[in-house]
Amino acid sequence: MSLDRYFIIDSTLREGEQFVNAQFTREQKVRVARGLDEFGVEYLELTSPMASPGSLADLKMIARLGLNARILTHIRCHKEDAKVALETGVDGIDVVIGTSSKLRQFSHGKTIDEVIELAAEVLPWVRSQVPGIELRFSTEDSFRSEEAELLRVYLAVDRLGVVNRLGIADTVGIATPTQVARLVGTLRRLTRCDIEFHGHNDSGCAIANAFAALENGATHIDTTVLGIGERNGITSLGGLAARMYTYDRAATQARYRLTHLRTLELMVAEMVGVDVPFNNYITGFSAFTHKAGIHAKAILNAPETYEALDPHDFGLSRYISIAHRLTGWNAVRARADQLSLSLSELQVKALTQHIKALADERALTLDDVDSLLRNWANGHETVESPLPAGVG
């Protein structure tokens, strides 16, 4: 079953380079490649060597770094592209061609028969040139392609017996998990190849679609750091890690260095001039912050009550927010303990009511609550207030 045996193809250096702000220097590409390799992704996909002279030179250089991750490049279904790609020393080639009517009409202008002919010309040729190369064939815009035509293409390619993997791409981010499950399941039944899923996130399903692909027999998932890519990007590496961790914590921890995720994301975020989103999977600033008193109490007793992910497994820590009207006395007492202040249970309960009343009047900070705690612990509760005179 693929959920227990899958590979990550990180495409930060290909799809991610198509993110509007991305303009990686060679030195940055090397840092990203090494970071991903240390994290433990099995493959890195790099921009086509046909894109620019710099892309060609960088690809050759990264292919020679001796990383554990296998190095792939991404090309059109053209012999000329393949020829250049083969000379770079990469471990594998990801070939793509559009099959939806829109792409056939407005991009390459070929009929489905012509697509099949081209694939039959290019793919066996690549295999004959470098027999050991890892070869993938993917259709672009798979989910807006006519299903019968799409299957005709995949079956024809499978019959060639030269590719390792068939790829499906949700190029415009419209597929649902059910649709992905069906298409992957069909390919699983009808072909012998490995199956790769590449999904955009335009309508918010990229991670769920990747998981549905794995549940139905896909073997490879494309990701990028922070999900960067064309428009609003694809399945994010951290999001997939979170999803797989909740499926099998031990296996995910054993395979990937989850504590490196945050550093990797901060590095890429800085390179492309964005912040890590506040609600990002695992590393968003509020990902392990608990607020409501009811939650805080349970978290203090047993964190797993409200945490599916243990922050410590990612080198992070949880935070309990107490300076607000939803606070509860268990959380306030825990803060008093943290500050080594001794307050009776009655005091803590009364102070909690006081905090709630103050918070109804204005926003409080943790500093405000800390000074209240100190004042109450020192018996000055009525003398000093953290609020300006006349407030609260």
- Spatial distance between the Cα atoms of 97 and 77, rounded to a whole number of angstroms: 6
Which is nearest to 197 in space by CA: 156, 146, 136? Answer: 136
Residue 169 in contact with ligand HCA, rule: CB under 6 A: yes
Judged by beta carbon, residue 200 or residue 295, the one nearer ligand HCA is 200
Residue 352 in contact with ligand HCA, rule: CB under 6 A: no
Closest CB 57 distance from ligand HCA, rounded Å: 21
Contact range with ligand HCA by CB under 6 A, out of 120-128, 164-172, 212-220, 247-255: 164-172
In the range 13-32, which residues lie near Cu ion by CB under 5 A?
15
Judged by beta carbon, residue 110 or residue 295, the one nearer ligand HCA is 110
Phi, psi of 221 (to 5 degrees): -125, 135
CA distances from 303 to 38, 146, 311, 335, 344 (A): 29, 48, 10, 16, 25
* Residues touching ligand HCA, count (CB under 6 A): 13
Among 73, 171, 223, 280, binds ligand HCA (CB under 6 A): 171
Q: From the centroid of its chain, how far is CA 94?
A: 20
Residue 227 in contact with ligand HCA, rule: CB under 6 A: no
- Spatial distance between the Cα atoms of 292 and 353, rounded to a whole number of angstroms: 14
Residue pair 56/84 in contact (Cβ under 8 Å)? The answer is yes
Q: In 194-272, which residue ranges form alpha helices assigned H by DSSP?
A: 206-215, 237-247, 249-255, 261-271
- Spatial distance between the Cα atoms of 69 and 37, rounded to a whole number of angstroms: 6
Helix 26-39 × helix 53-63 angle, to 10°? 40
Which is nearest to 228 in space by CA: 167, 270, 191, 263? Answer: 270
Closest CB 74 distance from ligand HCA, rounded Å: 6
Judged by beta carbon, residue 19 or residue 288, the one nearer ligand HCA is 19
Residue pair 204/236 in contact (Cβ under 8 Å)? The answer is no
- 295 given a catalytic annotation: yes
Write the binding mask 63 to 92 for ligand HCA: x where contact by CB under 6 A, - elsewhere.
-----------x------------------
Closest CB 169 distance from ligand HCA, rounded Å: 3
Contact range with ligand HCA by CB under 6 A, out of 112-120, 167-175, 283-291, 307-315: 167-175
- Spatial distance between the Cα atoms of 160 and 22, rounded to a whole number of angstroms: 37
Residue 209 in contact with ligand HCA, rule: CB under 6 A: no
Single out the catalytic residue among 74, 220, 290, 295.
Answer: 295
Closest CB 95 distance from ligand HCA, rounded Å: 8
Residue 10 in contact with ligand HCA, rule: CB under 6 A: no
Judged by beta carbon, residue 38 or residue 202, the one nearer ligand HCA is 202
Among 92, 167, 293, 328, binds ligand HCA (CB under 6 A): 167
Closest CB 172 distance from ligand HCA, rounded Å: 8
Closest CB 141 distance from ligand HCA, rounded Å: 6
User: If residue 30 lies in a helix (H) or strand (E), which one and from where to where?
Assistant: helix 26-39
Cα angle, residue 219 at apex, residues 17 and 231 outer, rounded to 5°? 25
Using CB positions, name the residue nearest to Cu ion: 15
Among 96, 135, 166, 206, binds ligand HCA (CB under 6 A): 96
Judged by beta carbon, residue 19 or residue 39, the one nearer Cu ion is 19
Of the chain, the end-to-end C-alpha distance in Å amounts to: 60
Helix/strand/coil for 102: helix
Residue 59 interacting partner from ligand HCA, Cu ion, none (CB closer than 5 to 8 Å by kind)? none
Helix/strand/coil for 15: coil
Which is nearest to 243 in space by CA: 208, 219, 216, 276? Answer: 208
Closest CB 329 distance from ligand HCA, rounded Å: 52
Judged by beta carbon, residue 169 or residue 359, the one nearer Cu ion is 169
- Spatial distance between the Cα atoms of 43 and 41, rounded to a whole number of angstroms: 6
* C-alpha torsion angle, residues 324, 329, 334, 337 (rounded to 10): 110
Judged by beta carbon, residue 208 or residue 266, the one nearer ligand HCA is 208
Which residues bind to ligand HCA, rule: CB under 6 A? 15, 18, 74, 94, 96, 138, 140, 167, 169, 171, 198, 200, 230
Which residues bind to Cu ion, rule: CB under 5 A? 15
Query: What are the catalytic residues?
Result: 295
